[in-house]
Structure formats: structure tokens, C-alpha cells
Amino acid sequence: MDLNYSDEQLLLKESAERFLKERYDFEKRNKIIASETGVDAAIWSEMADLGWLALPFAEENGGLGGGPVEISLTMEAVGWALVVEPYLSSVILAGGLVEKLGSEEQRAEILGGLIAGTSRPALAHTERQTGFDLDNIAATATKSVDGYTISGEKPLVPGGSFADVFLVSATLDGTVKLFVVPADSAGLTSTQVKLVDGSRASDLVLDNVPVLASALLGAAADTLAEIEAAYDRANAALASEAVGIMDALMDATVAYTKERVQFGKPLAAFQALQHRMAEMAVKCQEARGSALLATLSVDAPRPMRIRGVSGARAKIGKVSRSVAQEAIQLHGAMGFSEEMPIGAWFRRLYAIENTFGTTADHLKRYGEIIRDPAMLSGSLLREPV
């Protein structure tokens, strides 16, 4: 067992933080979300140059072979800086699925473009009724002469408004499969949606969209299992993003209460407020522990993966809400203004709590897993494989 970061990992963290500090301050971010597209193409291509877009992929696919820990460190920095570019949805979620399910040609084409910064794929899987039952999919694919015809609705596709290509799930002969659907396909309408955290998604409607036979992703694979695993990787990444935001809120609150003078002394000099900030720090520490467990569970067998990932999302959902609410309270009215990042962090945490499963969904999923007494009482240490 070793839970210390390696020197390379610390270097990665430092470089990510430096890049975002120099190129992605709060003012810049506000300009991006106010722009028509809601994305900064220059930043995206700089992310490509820095290797961010290649980070999780295997070297044979043109990637850098980074693991969950590297992703986690990057996501902490993404959280701190409130990056709205679709790193999570394009790289981790859609890119991850293409790497797992795609043929050599599909990987070369989609991952190639993604890593180069010229393509931003998005996963369109969940539907209005899906909730947390990932197999509850109403969209359908039917065989046609030279491929398939897809119909259905995919609301709130994360990163959808930035996507040039969608991975759309639909049932084919009763089984959920994924299809590669270019954004300019006939019969596909994508409506841009603004999200609560300033980022964008799209409501997708597919009306008899024709795709070629080569659009089917992973014909023989257990697609649902891979989609679930991809969401778990994304959820672990969200847990780390939340940790980055919680740390940011903590630091901002400490800095603010040291400066803000009331009744003749800085707010930070009042014991009642000191203890509230100490309680925030306790929650930040706990969230860090949870996120680390999620990070180190994404490649574990399914029950252990669920325990780590959904446990972290449930725990972090709860403590992050408390930290964010306290940060607002301790900032007083200032925490309410859009000029300060406090509210933006608050809103992003709220969005995270409602992305890829709510806090309650994850608690329920975790609760099911720990009904197995062996899972509940088992050590977090694992036997060598």
C-alpha cells in the first residue's frame, strides 16, 4: 500500500495549476461562458498541446497512459479554476468509451481527432426516464440496407453543444448498443442548453437518423457494462473536481475572513467563526479521503468499484453542500455577487450533485453494495492480483 503521490504526479498537478492560473482566471472564464459558443477554442488547443486531452489513453492509441490518479489531480485543478470546457464529457466519458469499445479504425479516427484537439465527442446515453437505471433506454436502432436508422430523444447531453460527433445509445434487437453519429447527420437536431454552472449541454432529437454499418461501436461487447464503467470513471473524476472546489472555497473563505473587519477586528478573530471554518476543513479532509478511494477503485471489480465511487459521490455530495453553504454564509452578502467566484463554485458543486446520478442515487447504490456483509466489513486494503 502506498498513498503518496510520485514526483511525476506532483509535477503534473503543479503544471495543471500553473496553466489554469495563468490562462484561465475567473474573469477569463466569465468571458467564455458569456460568449456565444461557451467554449474557448484556443484554450482547448492549448490543453491538447499540454497533453491533457491525451492523458487517460493508452500509448498505442496515441495517449499518454495516465491512470486514475493523474486524472484525479487534473480534475482537482479543473474544479478550482471552474473550467467549462468539456474535459470530463469529451475526454473521460466519450473518449474512454471509444477506447474501450471502438475498433482500430474508430479509435484512430475519433481518439485521433480528440487528442489533437480537433474533435470533441459527446456521449448521448441517458434519457428523461433513465434516472439511474442505465438500461432504461427508449431510443431505437433498426437495421437498414447499408447500416442503421436511429430514433429517440437524448436530453441534456453533457458537452453536447460543443460536440462534432455523438456516441448515441439505442436498443438494437433488444440490446443497448452505441452508435457513432456525426453532429451534422440528417434528422438530428441539437438544441443548445445553458446549465446551472455556466457550462453547456444539448437536447438531442434523432428522427430516423441514418448511419452506416461502421457506426456501430463494439458490436460484440457488453455495451451497458462499459457505459456503467465509464460513468464510474466520470463519477470518480467528479469527486476529485468537487475536492478541488471545496479546497478553493475553504481558501477563499479563510482569506476573506482574515481581511474583512467587523466590530473592530477581522472576522477570523471570532472563535465562533473559527470553529465553523475548522468544521469546513474537516469536511474538506474527509472529501479528499473519499475521492482518493473512488480514484483507486475505478479499475477494481464491480462491487468494489461501486463501493468506492458511489460512496464518494454520496459522501462528497453531502459534505460539499455544507462547505459551499458555509462559504456563502461566511462571505455574507459578498458571497452572493456574481463578481466573486464563491457563487460560481457553489453552483458548480450543485451541478455535480446532479450529474451522472444524484447524491441520493449514489447513496442508494452504495447502500445496496454494502448489504453484502463481506463488502461492508472488508478492509480497504486489497490482495495483490
Is the CB of 253 or the CB of 355 nearer to other proteins? 253
From the list 125, 307, 331, 348, which residue makes contact with other proteins (rule: CB under 8 A)?
307
Supply angle C-alpha 197, 201, 204, rounded to 5: 155
Q: Which residues pair with 121 in a beta bridge?
A: 165
Supply angle C-alpha 296, 127, 114, rounded to 5: 55
From the list 5, 19, 132, 350, which residue makes contact with other proteins (rule: CB under 8 A)?
5
Residue 122, classed as helix, strand or coil, is strand
Provide the minimum distance between the beta carbon of 307 and other proteins in the complex, in angstroms, as a whole number: 8
Nearest to 166 by CA among 199, 136, 126: 126
d(CA 229, CA 302): 8
3 binds other proteins (CB under 8 A): yes
Is the CB of 4 or the CB of 129 nearer to other proteins? 4
Nearest to 228 by CA among 158, 159, 301, 142: 301
152 binds other proteins (CB under 8 A): no
Provide the minimum distance between the beta carbon of 313 and other proteins in the complex, in angstroms, as a whole number: 9
**Strand pairing category for 165-172 and 121-124:** parallel
B/e letters for 155-180, b = 16+ CB within 10 Å, e = fewer, are bbbbbbbbbbbbbbbbbbeeebbbbb
From the list 69, 71, 93, 123, which residue makes contact with other proteins (rule: CB under 8 A)?
69
Is the CB of 3 or the CB of 186 nearer to other proteins? 3
Provide the minimum distance between the beta carbon of 249 and other proteins in the complex, in angstroms, as a whole number: 13
With a CB cutoff of 8 Å and minimum separation 6, the contacts of 314 are: 359, 362, 363, 366
Provide the minimum distance between the beta carbon of 80 and other proteins in the complex, in angstroms, as a whole number: 18
Nearest to 161 by CA among 58, 81, 90, 73: 90
Length reported for the chain: 385
Contacts (CB under 8 A) with other proteins, residues 312-341: 312, 314-315, 318
Contacts (CB under 8 A) with other proteins, residues 253-282: 254, 257-258, 268, 271, 274-275, 277-279, 281-282
Provide the minimum distance between the beta carbon of 310 and other proteins in the complex, in angstroms, as a whole number: 9
Count of residues interacting with other proteins (CB under 8 A): 52
Largest CA distance in the chain: 80
Provide the minimum distance between the beta carbon of 55 and other proteins in the complex, in angstroms, as a whole number: 16
301 binds other proteins (CB under 8 A): no
Nearest to 148 by CA among 100, 217, 83, 86: 217
Q: Which residues pair with 157 in a beta bridge?
A: 202
Q: What phi and psi, each to the nearest 5 degrees, are found at residue 312?
A: -70, -45
Is the CB of 116 or the CB of 254 nearer to other proteins? 254
Candidate segments 42-50, 143-151, 196-204, 290-298, binder of other proteins by CB under 8 A = 290-298
Provide the minimum distance between the beta carbon of 234 and other proteins in the complex, in angstroms, as a whole number: 19
7 binds other proteins (CB under 8 A): no
- What cell numbers appear for 216 in the block? 456501430
Q: Which residues pair with 265 in a beta bridge?
A: 262
Burial class for 352, CB neighbours closer than 10 Å (0-12, 13-18, 19+)? buried
Q: How many CA atoms lie within 13 A of 137 on its CB side?
A: 26
Provide the minimum distance between the beta carbon of 224 and other proteins in the complex, in angstroms, as a whole number: 24
Provide the minimum distance between the beta carbon of 214 and other proteins in the complex, in angstroms, as a whole number: 39
296 binds other proteins (CB under 8 A): yes
From the list 126, 149, 169, 290, which residue makes contact with other proteins (rule: CB under 8 A)?
290
From the list 229, 241, 285, 356, which residue makes contact with other proteins (rule: CB under 8 A)?
285
* Residues at the site binding other proteins, with contacts judged by CB under 8 A: 1-6, 9, 69, 254, 257-258, 268, 271, 274-275, 277-279, 281-282, 285-290, 292-293, 296, 307-308, 311-312, 314-315, 318, 363-364, 366-367, 370-371, 373, 376-377, 379-385
